[in-house]
Amino acid sequence: MTSRPRYGYSSAKPIRKDRVLIALLVLAACIVIPLLLRSGCARQSEGELSVLSENPSDQAAAAIATPAPTSVDSAVNQILSPGGSAATKPAATAPAASAPASTTTTKPATTAPSTSAGAIVSYTVKTSDTLSTVASALGVSVRVLRASNRLHENQALAAGQVVYASRAGVIHTIKAGQTLTDISLTYAVPVQTLASANGLSTASTIYAGSRIIIPGGTSALWDTVDDLSKGTASDYIWPVEADVVSTFGWRVHEVLGTRQHHDGIDLNVPEGTVVRASAGGEVYYYGEQPGYGNLLIIEHADTWYSMYGHLSSSLVYVGQYVEAGQRVAMSGNTGISSGPHLHFELRRGEVPVDPLRYLP
């Protein structure tokens, strides 16, 4: 009895045992190799500290309720277009710089290193205390004491107030959504240096509200914030020191010659001026938008956004958490512009508001 011809052959050939063995080996490789690759990727992702909410229950909720990313253009249009919704962030598809990978970790972090020389110490202010006497008692300068406790020049100490300091550097209070990498970029201190100074390891978790030491950190960033806030507490600070050359409201556009609403203020600065974050928050978008040229958007608490237009370049990437006063961009003359300047906006959701009502 002959078998049915297959694939053009008139008779079936006997099955060779060596071919069966080869087929089994190939099948095994197809199963085992993907498992090994997946395991290797998981191991490579370990090692970076991330920040979780102060409330552990928020962590589970965040894992369940993470929205699917939308395109950059559609998300930005939700902010720029009247009636839109600013609830969904754009995907970080086009960062201005390479964004580091982030992972989750499990072990709670200590708020102070174990060595006394680098410990974070607290002090309760007495009625007779001044900034100078408290700084002296803690072994730090007045400027570092201000920076560690976010005290403005015009703020006085109050009896019963608790202040923190370390002889090893400036104290930083961690914000929700901020990673150790973000803090590293803010202060230009390597991640490993931060981890070592604070007794952290790759198995640690840092929590919003905790305090860590910026080893060797100075008061420079807070000095800038204090200058741009005019020495007073304010939700937003000036992004640059400059004169306002065009205010919020209706105007005749200098280039287009048409009457239209100006959704922000224009600040007179030469091209290449350092632009700083008006408040702490997460970089929401950077890219080119009609009229604005190169536009940077930072998302703040309660769906507030600050916007920086006509830029020449960005110094941050989408998804990065930045501090108030941090360098985020360089001013330019892109988009529809009559000359080099910075266009600055504040928005509550998609609604533009007059920045001069919120700036100090």
CATH code of the domain covering residue 311? 2.70.70.10
* Same structural domain, 249 and 332: yes
Nearest to 307 by CA among 111, 80, 5: 80
CA dist 192 and 247 (Å) reads 45
* Same structural domain, 112 and 224: yes
* Same structural domain, 115 and 223: yes
Instruction: Specify the CATH number for the domain of residue 148.
Output: 3.10.350.10
Position 111 in a domain = yes
Position 18 in a domain = no
Position 60 in a domain = no
Is residue 250 within 8 Å of residue 261, measured between CB atoms? Answer: yes
Position 43 in a domain = no
* Same structural domain, 187 and 284: no
Beta bridge partners of 258: none
* Same structural domain, 168 and 278: no
- Here the tokens at position 16 are 């060779």
Name residues whose C-beta falls within 8 Å of residue 248's C-beta, 6 or more positions apart in sequence: 262, 263, 264, 265, 352, 353, 354, 355, 356
Position 289 in a domain = yes
The residue ranges of the chain whose pLDDT is under 70 are 1-75, 81-118, 202, 256
Q: Which residue has the tokens 């958007």?
A: 297
Q: Of 172, 199, 228, which closes a domain?
A: 228
Q: Write out the chain in H/E/C secondary structure.
A: CCCCCECCECCCCCCCHHHHHHHHHHHHHHHHHHHHHHHHHHHHHCCCCCEECCCHHHHHHHHHCCCCCECHHHHHHHHHCCCCCCCCCECCCCCCCCCCCCCCCCEECCCCCCCHHHCCEEEECCCCCCHHHHHHHHCCCHHHHHHHHCCCCCCCCCCCCEEEEECCEEEEECCCCCCHHHHHHHHCCCHHHHHHHCCCCCCEEEECCCEEEEECCCCHHHHHHHHHCCCCCCCCCCCCCCCEEECCEEEECCCCCCEEEECCEEECCCCCCEEECCCCEEEEEEEEECCCEEEEEEECHHHEEEEEEEEEEECCCCCCEECCCCEEEEEECCCCCCCCEEEEEEEECCEEECHHHCCC
Q: What's at 5, amino acid-wise?
A: P
Position 17 in a domain = no
Q: Of 200, 228, 256, which closes a domain?
A: 228
Q: What's at 156, amino acid-wise?
A: A
* Same structural domain, 129 and 195: yes
Which bin fits 52, alpha (ψ -120 to 50), beta or left (φ > 0)? beta
Is residue 276 within 8 Å of residue 328, measured between CB atoms? Answer: yes
Instruction: Indicate the number of domains in the chain.
Output: 2
pTM given for the model:
0.73
* Same structural domain, 185 and 250: no
The contacts found for 148-156 with CB under 8 angstroms, 24 or more apart, are 150/222, 152/226, 152/229, 152/231, 152/232, 152/233, 153/226, 153/231, 154/231, 154/232, 155/232, 155/233, 156/131
Question: Which residue range(s) make up the domain with 270?
Answer: 244-357
Please write the tens of the pLDDT for every residue from 99-112.
Answer: 443 333 223 333 43
Is residue 324 within 8 Å of residue 173, measured between CB atoms? Answer: no
Position 62 in a domain = no
CA dist 127 and 136 (Å) reads 16
